[in-house]
A and B are shown apart, each in its own frame.
Chain A
Amino acid sequence: MKFLFQFFSSLKLTVVLLSFSLVLIFFGTLDQVQYGIWHTQELYFESFLVVWTFPEHAPLGQHLHWIRIPMPGGYLLGGMLLINLLAAHFTRFKMSWMKCGIFLIHSGLILLLISELMTDILAVESQMPVDEGGTSNYSQGFRENELVFIDRSHPEHDSVHTIPASLLKPGKRIDVPNTPLSIRTVRYHGNAEIGRATSGSPAESIATRGAAVRMGIIVNPKPETYSEDEINTVTAFVEVIKGEDSLGTWLVSNVMDERFPPQMVDAGDRSFEIALRFTRHYYPFEIELIDFKHEKYPGTEVPFNFSSEVKVTHQDSTKNQKALIYMNHPLRYEGLTFFQASFANQDKTSIFQVVRNPGWLLPYLSVLLMGLGMCVQFGMHFFKFLRKQRG
Chain B
Amino acid sequence: MRQTAPIVKSIHSATVLERRLRVYCLSVVCLLGLVGCEQAEPTSYLIPKEDRAVTMPTPVADSAETKASAPTNGSMRILPGMQAAADEAGGVTYTVPEGWEDLPASGIRKANLKVSDENGTAELTVLVFPGDVGGRLANINRWRGQLGLDDATPEDLSKFTESYSISQHPGLYVRLEGEAQSILGGLLPFHGSTWFFKFLGSSGTVLGNEAKMKAFLDSVQLEDSHH
Q: List which A318-361 residues lie within 8 A (CB) of chain B.
A: 341-346, 348-349, 351
B77 and A255 form a contact (CB under 8 A): yes
Interface residues in chain A, defined as those with a beta carbon under 8 Å from any beta carbon in chain B: 5, 75, 79, 82-83, 86-87, 90, 114, 117, 120-121, 127, 129-131, 134-138, 140, 142, 144, 152-164, 166-167, 174-179, 193-196, 214-217, 228-233, 253-262, 264, 271, 277-278, 282, 341-346, 348-349, 351
B28 and A121 form a contact (CB under 8 A): no
What is the CB-to-nearest-CB distance from B76 to chain A, in angstroms, rounded to a whole number? 7
Interface residues in chain B, defined as those with a beta carbon under 8 Å from any beta carbon in chain A: 17, 20-21, 24-25, 28, 31-32, 34-35, 37-50, 52, 55-60, 62-63, 65-67, 69-82, 84-85, 104, 106-109, 127, 129-131, 133-134, 139, 142, 145-146, 148, 179-180
**Other-chain contact of A217, B45, B81, B84, B133 (Cβ < 8 Å):** B81
Given A86-B28, A130-B57; A229-B72 close (CB under 8 Å): yes
Given A261-B139, A278-B74; A177-B43 close (CB under 8 Å): yes
Residue of B nearest to A284 (CB): B48
Instruction: Give 16 A-B contacts (CB < 8 Å), ordered by A residue.
Output: A5-B21, A86-B28, A90-B17, A152-B49, A161-B42, A167-B39, A176-B42, A195-B84, A196-B82, A228-B71, A231-B72, A259-B107, A278-B75, A341-B71, A345-B59, A345-B63
Most buried by A among B72, B107, B179: B72
**How many pairs of residues, A versus B, come closer than 8 Å at their CB atoms?**
211
B58 and A260 form a contact (CB under 8 A): no
12 extra interface residue pairs, beta carbon distance < 8 Å, beyond A152-B49, A282-B45, A341-B71:
A82-B28, A130-B57, A154-B148, A157-B49, A159-B45, A160-B46, A164-B40, A215-B130, A233-B77, A262-B52, A345-B66, A345-B106
What is the CB-to-nearest-CB distance from A276 to chain B, in angstroms, rounded to a whole number? 10
Q: Report the separation of the CA atoms of residues A129 and B24 in the bound assembly, to the nearest whole angstrom.
A: 45
Contacts of A341 in B (CB 8 A): 70-71
**Other-chain contact of A196, B81, B108, B139 (Cβ < 8 Å):** B81
Contacts of B146 in A (CB 8 A): 152
What is the CB-to-nearest-CB distance from B178 to chain A, in angstroms, rounded to a whole number? 9
B131 and A342 form a contact (CB under 8 A): no
Residue of B nearest to A129 (CB): B57
Q: Report the separation of the CA atoms of residues A130 and B58 in the bound assembly, to the nearest whole angstrom.
A: 9
Given A134-B57, A160-B44; A153-B39 close (CB under 8 Å): no
Contacts of B80 in A (CB 8 A): 193-195
Q: Is the interface of A mostly helix, strand, loop or mixed?
A: mixed
Contacts of B72 in A (CB 8 A): 229-231
Residue of B nearest to A232 (CB): B74
Contacts of A195 in B (CB 8 A): 79-81, 84
Contacts of A345 in B (CB 8 A): 58-60, 62-63, 66, 106
Residue of A nearest to B147 (CB): A155
Most buried by B among A138, A157, A253: A157
Most buried by B among A90, A175, A258, A341: A258
Q: Report the separation of the CA atoms of residues A127 and B57 in the bound assembly, to the nearest whole angstrom.
A: 13
Residue of A nearest to B180 (CB): A155
What is the CB-to-nearest-CB distance from B111 to chain A, in angstroms, rounded to a whole number? 14
Q: Report the separation of the CA atoms of residues A138 and B55 in the bound assembly, to the nearest whole angstrom.
A: 11
A257 and B76 form a contact (CB under 8 A): yes
Q: Report the separation of the CA atoms of residues A166 and B79 in the bound assembly, to the nearest whole angstrom.
A: 22
B52 and A258 form a contact (CB under 8 A): yes
A258 and B81 form a contact (CB under 8 A): no
What is the CB-to-nearest-CB distance from A7 to chain B, in angstroms, rounded to a whole number? 13
A351 and B42 form a contact (CB under 8 A): no
**Other-chain contact of B42, A129, A140, A163, A259 (Cβ < 8 Å):** A163
Q: Report the separation of the CA atoms of residues A150 and B206 in the bound assembly, to the nearest whole angstrom.
A: 26
Contacts of A161 in B (CB 8 A): 42-44
Contacts of B130 in A (CB 8 A): 196, 215
